Structure 1
Amino acid sequence: MLTRFQEDFLKRFRDRTVVWAVTSANHHTTKRNPVAFDRREAAIERFSAGAGVRSVVVGVVDTPPTDEFAEVTVKAIEAGTDDLVRLTPANTVVACSTPEVSKLYEQLGYEVVGVEPEGTARPWDVLLMIAEGNDRWRELAHPATVDVFERYGLDAHIKRCVNDPVVGDDGGLTTTRDYKTYADAFETAADRKWQQIKDFVKPGRILDIGCATGATLQLIDADPRFHESDLIGVEVARHLYAECVHKKEQGLFHNPNVYFYQRNMLGSAVFPPRSIDSTLTLALTHEIWSYADGSRPATVQRFADALFAHTAPGGVWVNSDVCGPAEPDRPVVLTLDDSDGVNPDQITELEHLHDSASYVRQLSTRARFFQFAHDFRRNAKVPFEYDVRGDGLVLRLADAMDFLTRKDYVDNWLSETHEQFCGLDFAGWSAVAERAGFTIDRASKAWRNDWVIDNRIAPVAALTTPDGDPIDWPDTHQLLVARR
């Protein structure tokens, strides 16, 4: 965002070269940096030409918070100009209105001049006016920015990003997710999921929402039935979207009609009405439920309504995901092994640990339950009530399964405890689709992942009624085929 004030300010330096360090240049479609670097650069060049300012624009990749931010930026400018621009305290004045950043440059010996005085709207303040729907932003923004924003529809884009109810500041659902582990898991599971859903996918315009690394679209790309289809991936997480784009650049797709969007489908309509033949959501809907801001039922219904709106007549929505048991509120007694790890006397605040995965991994299954209860209540914002009765834990069946299906996800523990797998059962998800207008295909079903039960759950856990009668393990997953 460039402002009219900045033009008046920089006209004082017409005898100098203005070096624009555009930080977080590798970010876009995030709350911190909704506008892509190339659009920012275009506005700066237009601004410079109009103001008669000689400018050099350098993109600086995002860095974690560091006291060496100023030094990193100066070095990035040197690298970004092939050492043609070398900034030193002797030849450079730093213009900055952020006190914390100014101090870092002053420590390196640079003279710092403030930009916006008290009471003057800073660029970020003007950008927030766009998000708030305040048209006064056009009066404060420089005409170069107004022009670029209008030509590329960036005012609407900024509103979507800043007001997004689900996505965090850096373009992800959570800051605690290890995206490498997450991406590897999607790559590994893609073929199994594709075998489950491939017979229901219609040729035409095929949309994979939450496409992760694009692995499922690669399998569709390799299937001769879809060689004339448009393959469209939508991924909100910046790290995963970047991997999709990288794959396309590396030539891993043979179909030329492969497109990726970094977008949250809840923000606004992405595709025209009745324009998509097949929509795939794989391991996604529980995340929409979990990260919804406000009413979870209303948010997932809004999502299903949006899918129905863009689905062509005769089209299909295929949803493969986890789900809760058919009797979520049934009281059960959960007995857990306490001999397969350590049993601390107190709960640990994992955010304070350098390696939380190693800590959780050493816990016994029973101790892991108490850690999960602590983290799940806080992160997922759910009650998760239970009573200790001797060796058993009395709780809802859905809560028991939420723990049992997540207890081994130690590498992404803090991220996983944001998510509720058992928020809705299969009937609940079917009702969401039907309310949107879909018809449920007979092939739809809830099912149980017996490998997980036999290898991960049953060896360390047992479920009984409060009277001590054994209970069969409930369904853990769903395949929902919804047709328009």
Structure 2
Amino acid sequence: MYLLIPGRHHLLTDFQFKYLNRLIKCKLEDEPDVYGTPLPTADITGIIFAVTSANHLGTKRNPVPFYLRAMIIQEFSHSLDVPAFVYGIDDAGMIPDFADYTLKTIRHSSEGIHQLTPDNTIVICSTGVKEMYLRHGFRVLPAEWDPVTAQFTQPMPWDVVKLVAQTEAWRKNKTILDLMHPACFKIWSLYQVGEKVQHILKDPIIGADGDLTATRDYQVYVKQMDDIAALKYRETAPYIQPGNIGDIGCAAGSWIKMACSDDRLHECDFYGIEVSRHLYDICLQRKHNGEFANPSVFFSQKNAVTSLVFEPGSMQTIHTSSLTHEIASYGSIDDLVAFIRNRYQELMPGGVWINRDVIGPENKAETILLWLNDTDGENDLPAPASTDTHELAQYLGKLSTRALFTRFAADFRHHEGFQLPHTWVEIAGTTYCQLSMQNACEFLFKKDYHDNWLSEMHEMFCFWSYSDWKAALEAAGLRLDNLSHTYRNEWIVKNRLEGKVQLLRLNENNTPEVIDFPVSHTLLLIRK
């Protein structure tokens, strides 16, 4: 008889070892299942650990990589009298029968050696997952769960993980030492797993599954990144200094891929840092596919806000693109300042940080008038009841520019508690929206992101001007190269702004006068 234990298995407890050891030694004799019915006596031939979310690591739900979880299980199992088998079960999202998926994965991974059925397997599970196995006819042992009192009699492994995350000196904490199995403690100590778990679980920016936002359509996002990769590289390539080159927020690795094909950089080492699990997985797949001309390409899933991601003083070049505004948007200005300080520490003297991003105008606090076209689309189109990304994009694409602004004013940073200040005024028979230049620019340069509207509504583009950036960098000990500059995307002006919107200010006669669209982007060459 096999014992099947499905779970994420980031940590194993002393209780789990004693429980398994008792089951093996006593051959299941009189062990009650989840219904309180004693099991018949049977020899245990092996224990099968199904490690779920095996393809996830570095996230709040799954901070420990699969290879370390497997090492913990093997170390843990050495003193048991039966062999232990470890099978990784990749995340499959929300599927109705994860138990069936797990069993099929084990059968496939074992090449048919372990075909688990209710006749040859007892499941050990104390969580709601047990219901899926019960529906398949398996007998289930409750472990930490007491079916009589409907309560846990022992701390769950994840409870101990959370305790470690909250305990600075976790190696000397008596409760942790009592609960964690010594074999698990050995691996956690040797590989500094506790410190990594503390870092990940305390991260204020990243969500449970390792993403900044849960509303981004990654298929659309990756295509957009690839489409503009050549433009980004042409703009930044002249300033790359050979040596150790890091790309923070590397997305799908497109910038690194182009840099690897640059003859000047063929002897360089490239380090891609990506916090999003989805994008990190794509980077690894591209590396496995052989898409990078340089073999010295290394990817890591890390958060560059809360810690250094490169060794201090080691980097000749750091590149970031369309990243710093996300740090301020999903975190805070303080997080962006921390990010800047971390880059100062990582650069070697004379190194350069190339930062390409959106930017706000110098007069962002000025109150201006915004004319919005109300004849280029629908004005009274009912909003879709669904929040499906594609349905919402189709709806937004049918709106007039004025109706689109009304939707923007309601959605922009709504979840962050922001209400966009604006009023409608009529001057000489024409209606204008009166608001700050900063908020007007947020609309101008964001209004056409229909495919990822819900995600973009979290993001601020115009919180800092060039002079704001200069002051923040100098406060961290960095300086702006004279080649740094701001610019306006003329394609956006010609194709998305002209005829749809106008910016105006009142002259001395209190008459609206059209003013130029301001800068929208910047290339900052930041030196240490």
TM-score tier, shorter chain, comes to: over 0.9
Query: Partner amino acid for 1:3?
Result: T
Report the Cα distance in structure 2 between the residues aligned to 1:357 and 1:59, rounded to whole angstroms: 38
Quote the residue 2:304 is aligned against: 265
List per-residue Cα deviations over 1:234-265 (Å, max 9, x = no partner).
Answer: 11111111222222222222323221111111
Quote the residue 1:442 is aligned against: 482
The 1:52–1:381 alpha-carbon spacing in structure 2 relative to 1, beyond 3 Å, is farther
Quote the residue 1:63 is aligned against: 92
* 1:167 aligned to which of 188, 206, 214: 206
Query: Partner amino acid for 1:470?
Result: V
List per-residue Cα deviations over 1:87-126 (Å, max 9, x = no partner).
Answer: 222332221121x322222222222221214242111111
Report the Cα distance in structure 1 between the residues aligned to 2:177 and 2:466, rounded to whole angstroms: 49
Contact 1:347 1:370 (C-alpha < 8 Å) held by counterparts: no
The 1:353–1:271 alpha-carbon spacing in structure 2 relative to 1, beyond 3 Å, is closer
* Residue 394 of structure 2 corresponds to residue 355 of structure 1: no
* Residue 313 of structure 2 corresponds to residue 279 of structure 1: no
The 1:54–1:271 alpha-carbon spacing in structure 2 relative to 1, beyond 3 Å, is same
Return the index of the structure with the highest Cα Rg: 2
* Residue 458 of structure 2 corresponds to residue 407 of structure 1: no
Q: Aligned to 1:309, what secondary structure does the other structure show?
A: helix
The two structures, once aligned, show a CA RMSD in angstroms of 1.9
* Residue 141 of structure 2 corresponds to residue 113 of structure 1: yes
Contact 1:380 1:420 (C-alpha < 8 Å) held by counterparts: no
The 1:89–1:357 alpha-carbon spacing in structure 2 relative to 1, beyond 3 Å, is farther
Report the Cα distance in structure 2 between the residues aligned to 1:131 and 1:297, rounded to whole angstroms: 26
Q: CA deviation at 1:394?
A: 1.3
Contact 2:381 2:399 (C-alpha < 8 Å) held by counterparts: no
* 1:427 aligned to which of 459, 464, 467: 467
Query: Partner amino acid for 1:67?
Result: P
Q: CA deviation at 1:10?
A: 1.1
List per-residue Cα deviations over 1:177-208 (Å, max 9, x = no partner).
Answer: 11111111111111111111212111111111
Mapping of residues 72-151 of structure 1, within 5 Å: 72-98=101-127, 100-117=128-145, 118-133=152-167, 135=170, 136=173, 137-151=176-190
Report the Cα distance in structure 2 between the residues aligned to 1:53 and 1:408, rounded to whole angstroms: 61
The 1:72–1:245 alpha-carbon spacing in structure 2 relative to 1, beyond 3 Å, is same
Report the Cα distance in structure 1 between the residues aligned to 2:179 and 2:525, rounded to whole angstroms: 50
Report the Cα distance in structure 2 between the residues aligned to 1:18 and 1:468, rounded to whole angstroms: 78
Identity of counterpart residues, as a percentage?
A: 38
Query: Partner amino acid for 1:74?
Result: L
Quote the residue 2:23 is aligned against: 13
Q: CA deviation at 1:212?
A: 1.0
Q: TM-score, normalised by structure 2?
A: 0.87
The 1:11–1:284 alpha-carbon spacing in structure 2 relative to 1, beyond 3 Å, is same
Report the Cα distance in structure 1 between the residues aligned to 2:404 and 2:106, rounded to whole angstroms: 48
Report the Cα distance in structure 1 between the residues aligned to 2:424 and 2:141, rounded to whole angstroms: 63
Contact 1:286 1:321 (C-alpha < 8 Å) held by counterparts: yes
The 1:362–1:144 alpha-carbon spacing in structure 2 relative to 1, beyond 3 Å, is farther
Contact 1:277 1:315 (C-alpha < 8 Å) held by counterparts: yes
Report the Cα distance in structure 2 between the residues aligned to 1:309 and 1:145, rounded to whole angstroms: 34
List per-residue Cα deviations over 1:345-372 (Å, max 9, x = no partner).
Answer: 7666653777332232232222222222
* 2:236 aligned to which of 188, 197, 206: 197
Quote the residue 2:432 is aligned against: 392
Question: Which segments of 5 or more consecutive residues in structure 1 lack a partner in the other structure?
Answer: none
Quote the residue 2:353 is aligned against: 317
Quote the residue 1:483 is aligned against: 527
The 1:343–1:113 alpha-carbon spacing in structure 2 relative to 1, beyond 3 Å, is farther
* Residue 285 of structure 2 corresponds to residue 233 of structure 1: no
Contact 2:305 2:338 (C-alpha < 8 Å) held by counterparts: yes
* 1:30 aligned to which of 41, 59, 65: 59
Quote the residue 2:515 is aligned against: 471
Query: Partner amino acid for 1:176?
Result: T
Query: Partner amino acid for 2:398?
Result: Q
The 1:236–1:88 alpha-carbon spacing in structure 2 relative to 1, beyond 3 Å, is same
Contact 2:384 2:392 (C-alpha < 8 Å) held by counterparts: no
Deviates more, 1:54-63 or 1:108-117: 108-117
Report the Cα distance in structure 1 between the residues aligned to 2:142 and 2:211, rounded to whole angstroms: 33
* Residue 256 of structure 2 corresponds to residue 217 of structure 1: yes
Contact 1:10 1:53 (C-alpha < 8 Å) held by counterparts: no
Deviates more, 1:275-284 or 1:378-387: 378-387
Q: CA deviation at 1:396?
A: 1.1
Contact 2:212 2:330 (C-alpha < 8 Å) held by counterparts: yes
Question: Which segments of 5 or more consecutive residues in structure 2 lack a partner in the other structure?
Answer: 1-10, 25-42, 146-151
Contact 1:200 1:318 (C-alpha < 8 Å) held by counterparts: yes
The 1:474–1:46 alpha-carbon spacing in structure 2 relative to 1, beyond 3 Å, is same
Q: TM-score, normalised by structure 1?
A: 0.94
List per-residue Cα deviations over 1:244-301 (Å, max 9, x = no partner).
Answer: 2222222222323221111111222222221111111111100111111xxx221111
Q: Aligned to 2:320, what secondary structure does the other structure show?
A: strand
More helix by share: 1
The 1:111–1:388 alpha-carbon spacing in structure 2 relative to 1, beyond 3 Å, is farther
